[in-house]
C-alpha cells in the first residue's frame, strides 16, 4: 500500500533533519545496503574455510586433534557461508556486485573476479 502525501511529507522532513544533524550517518545509510553484512560474512567464511584446509594439511600428520580442528573450522565456515548465502538471495547478490555510485569503478565480487581473470589471461596467454 503506497504512502499518503502526508506520510511522504513527514518522511521527507525526517530525512532532511537526519541529513542536517548527522550527515556522515546519513551518507552511510544511503550508500550501504541491507545485504552488505551477509556478503561480508560470506567472504570471511570462505577465508575461514581455506584457513581450515591449511590447518588440516599442515598439522594432520603431526597431530590428529589439530587436523580435526581444521575440519571443524572448514565445516563451521561452510555452514556460515550457506546461511548467509540464503539470506542474500538472487536479487541481493546483484546488489552486492553493482557499483556503489554512478561513475565509480565497479566494486564487489564481479570486479574482483574480472581482475583475476585478466591477470591469468595476461600471464598464461599462449603465443601462437
Tens digit of pLDDT for each residue in 80-102?
999 988 887 765 556 655 655 55
Are the beta carbons of 81 and 49 closer than 8 angstroms? yes
Q: CA–CA separation, 77 vs 44, rounded Å?
A: 8
| pLDDT 10s digits, 57-76 | 999 889 999 999 999 999 99
Q: For residue 50, which of 70, 80, 68 has the smallest C-alpha distance?
A: 70
| Residue 79 or residue 36, greater confidence | 79
* Distance in angstroms (rounded) separating the CA atoms of residues 93 and 43: 13
Position 105 confidence tier, pLDDT thresholds 50, 70, 90: low
Task: Determine contact, residues 110/61, Cβ cutoff 8 Å.
Answer: no
- Average pLDDT rounded to a whole number, residues 28-57: 86
107 C-beta neighbours (distance < 10 Å), count: 14
Angle, CA of 10, 12 and 16, to the nearest 5°:
115
Res 126: pLDDT: 63
d(CA 66, CA 96): 36
Q: What's the chain's length in residues?
A: 128
User: Does the pTM of the predicted model rise above 0.85?
Assistant: no
Amino acid at each position: 500500500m503506497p504512502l499518503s502525501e502526508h506520510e511522504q511529507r513527514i518522511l521527507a522532513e525526517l530525512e532532511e533533519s537526519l541529513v542536517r544533524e548527522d550527515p556522515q550517518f546519513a551518507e552511510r545509510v544511503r550508500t550501504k545496503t541491507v545485504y552488505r553484512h551477509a556478503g561480508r560474512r560470506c567472504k570471511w567464511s570462505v577465508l575461514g574455510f581455506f584457513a581450515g584446509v591449511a590447518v588440516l594439511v599442515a598439522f594432520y600428520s603431526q597431530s590428529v586433534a589439530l587436523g580435526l580442528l581444521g575440519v571443524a573450522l572448514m565445516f563451521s565456515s561452510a555452514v556460515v557461508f550457506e546461511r548467509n548465502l540464503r539470506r542474500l538471495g538472487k536479487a541481493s547478490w546483484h546488489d552486492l556486485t553493482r557499483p556503489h555510485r554512478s561513475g565509480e569503478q565497479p566494486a564487489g565480487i564481479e570486479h574482483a573476479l574480472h581482475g583475476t581473470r585478466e591477470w591469468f589471461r595476461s600471464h598464461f596467454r599462449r603465443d601462437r
